């Protein structure tokens, strides 16, 4: 739980950072397992959403997505 701002405000702030530095990737890690919450963060610009606790198998699809995005930025 964040005390100063919530997750959506954080994603919006990072999205603003992407304007100056497009290689900023936003990954949300949350205890909230609801599709509606995940969809909201993805709509706000998150690259991925992982529910805690996670393991290597549940994290793998997001890891692959991050690798693709950073590879595309490097080219």
Domains of the chain by start residue, with CATH: 7-74 (3.40.50.2300)
Kindly give the confidence (pLDDT) of every residue in the chain, 75 residues in length, as a single tens digit, with 9 standing for 90 and above.
667 888 888 888 888 887 888 777 888 888 988 999 999 999 888 888 888 888 888 888 888 988 887 787 666
Map tokens 């964040």 to a residue: 2
Whether residue 41 contacts residue 11, with contact meaning beta carbons closer than 8 Å, is answered with yes
pLDDT at 36: 93
List, in sequence order, every residue forming a beta bridge with 49; answer none if it has no partner: 28
Residue 47 C-beta-side C-alpha neighbours within 13 Å = 20
pLDDT at 57: 87
Query: Helix (H, G, I), strand (E, B), or coil: what is residue 27?
Result: strand
> Structure pTM?
0.71
Residue 35, phi-psi category: left (phi > 0), alpha (psi -120 to 50), beta (remainder): alpha
């Amino acid at each position: 739980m964040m005390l100063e701002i919530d997750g959506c405000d954080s994603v919006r702030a990072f999205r603003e950072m992407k304007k100056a530095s497009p290689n900023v990737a936003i990954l949300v890690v949350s205890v909230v397992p609801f599709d509606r919450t995940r969809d909201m963060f993805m709509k706000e610009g998150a690259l991925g959403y992982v529910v805690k606790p996670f393991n290597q198998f549940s994290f793998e699809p997001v890891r692959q997505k991050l690798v693709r995005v950073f590879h595309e930025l490097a080219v």
